[in-house]
Amino acid sequence: MSKVIHIKRGLDIPLEGAAEKILQTPSRTAIYAVKPTDFHGLFPKMLVSEGDKVKAGTPLFYDKYNEDVVFASPVSGTYKQLVRGAKRRILEVRIEADPQDDYVDFGAADPKSLSREEVREKLLKSGLWPVIRQRPYSVIAHQEDTPRDIFISAFKSTPLAPDMDFVVNGQEESFQKGLDALGMLTDGDVHLSMHSENTTSPAFTEAKGVVLHRFKGPHPAGNVGIQIHHIKPINKGDIVWYLDVQDVITIGRLFEKGIYDASKIVVLNGSEVLKPRYYRVLSGVNITAFTQDNIRKEEETTPRFISGDVLSGEKIPPDGFLGFYDGQLTVIPEGDKPELLGWLIPKTDKFSVSRTFFSFLMPWKKYRLNTNIRSGERPFVVTGIYEKVLPMDIMPMQLIKSIMINDIDKMEKLGIYEIAPEDFALPEYVCPSKIEMQTIVREGLDSMQKEFA
């Protein structure tokens, strides 16, 4: 095993409401949904019509610009309703669930005995392909590419992140099976990055057919983009794929049992959760399944439900559905109350990287942070703080500026291929000018993709 890669720059934001390691299985909800908006740049075309019976694994829609990529139903039931937003954009494809799941049979097989084409075919058919994403651009991988390498992060470092050792527990074999399948898809290596101390599960430490790496340090050490940068950076023309541990497990189950078993373990946490825990649910679950009677009720505060983590998750309504790639639901208070001289008075309930608040004197303290943006947007003024939370050989401010002026050449030279919006979540968090960097990065990636399409 290679030496430990020590990430020195970064920031762990100490939030209240970490989850206990208790796994519960809530009862099924009536409605499940697949949200085409979870897949960046997707233009969905429906394959089913209202009232159709579907099984778990029945394709619901496909990508207009890449027809082989289909998106399957996570449950068996009846396709009920399409929820549309502005410009008739499809937001949710809702399925009314049956009490029991009925699966489409794709046939069990040992991935090692299959050819690359057969593995790919199985993933595409079963609607599992979209779990594989690529860099550059951070979008669903293209099935005709052969990636240079495939990267998987076996730990998360985001605020209140789920413990992947706990999540993988009992699913070790499926995980290994999934790794075997992924190994068939690349001529390069499958890289699995672990935390040097916290990762102990044999599913990771004794994984076969992969190259193991060990990382330590603050967030974003667990971000796959940072890991790729330190293991084998992406250069122009390279394509690498990446996916989450739970998605590897789902792929493993496909080959073990021949079905799309969409169950995953989701952690519910955050300062507004009464009993933060882990739940075994199906992908596309309505979050009321496990938030009911578990959210702090106060007269003055409304909770915000975030599918994913607080840095790059998505805001969803209290009766919304969990995002396709998310294994976490975070609930924090909205910060919609004005605060008298809030910028001046150094209250102890505020957390800051700067030493102008007292949080640096209390490293043990956990915070109940809210969603207040704290200031209007300003131009860049303060320099040198973004580098401190982006452990890559990339100049964040210069890159962001090149995106702002849409200078394709500069973006390319400054390393846009290596980044995804989530890598700029911390620079965005610390920015005193409150510049929306993740949005800017996404715009930059979009214009690069368009340029080379």
In angstroms, the CA 204 to CA 214 distance is 11
Q: Which of residues 303-322 bind other proteins (CB under 8 A)?
A: 304, 306, 310-313, 315
Contact between 112 and other proteins per CB under 8 A = no
Out of 393, 404, 406, 451, the residue judged to bind other proteins by CB under 8 A: 393
Q: Which of residues 44-73 bind other proteins (CB under 8 A)?
A: none
Phi, psi (degrees; rounded to nearest 5) at 83: -100, 120
Q: Which of residues 325-354 bind other proteins (CB under 8 A)?
A: 330, 332, 334-344, 350-354
The minimum distance between CB 169 and other proteins, in angstroms, equals 29
Contact between 365 and other proteins per CB under 8 A = no
The minimum distance between CB 76 and other proteins, in angstroms, equals 34
Cis peptide before 421 (omega within 30 of 0): no
Both tokens of 207, joined, read: 């994984």
Q: Give the three-state DSSP class for 359.
A: helix
Does residue 237 contact residue 146 with C-beta atoms inside 8 Å?
no
Span near other proteins by CB under 8 A; candidates 34-42, 56-64, 167-175, 391-399: 391-399
Q: Give the three-state DSSP class for 407.
A: coil
Q: Which of residues 143-162 bind other proteins (CB under 8 A)?
A: 148
* CA-based radius of gyration for the chain: 22
Q: Give the three-state DSSP class for 272.
A: coil
The minimum distance between CB 95 and other proteins, in angstroms, equals 28
Rank residues 51 and 338 by Cβ distance to other proteins and give the closer one.
338
CA 55, distance to chain mean position in Å, is: 26
Both tokens of 289, joined, read: 């399944």
Both tokens of 285, joined, read: 């679950």
In angstroms, the CA 65 to CA 142 distance is 11
First to last CA, the chain: 39
The minimum distance between CB 267 and other proteins, in angstroms, equals 16
Rank residues 111 and 303 by Cβ distance to other proteins and give the closer one.
303
Out of 102, 189, 387, 407, the residue judged to bind other proteins by CB under 8 A: 387
Does residue 213 contact residue 192 with C-beta atoms inside 8 Å?
yes
Rank residues 343 and 364 by Cβ distance to other proteins and give the closer one.
343
Contact between 436 and other proteins per CB under 8 A = yes
The minimum distance between CB 51 and other proteins, in angstroms, equals 36
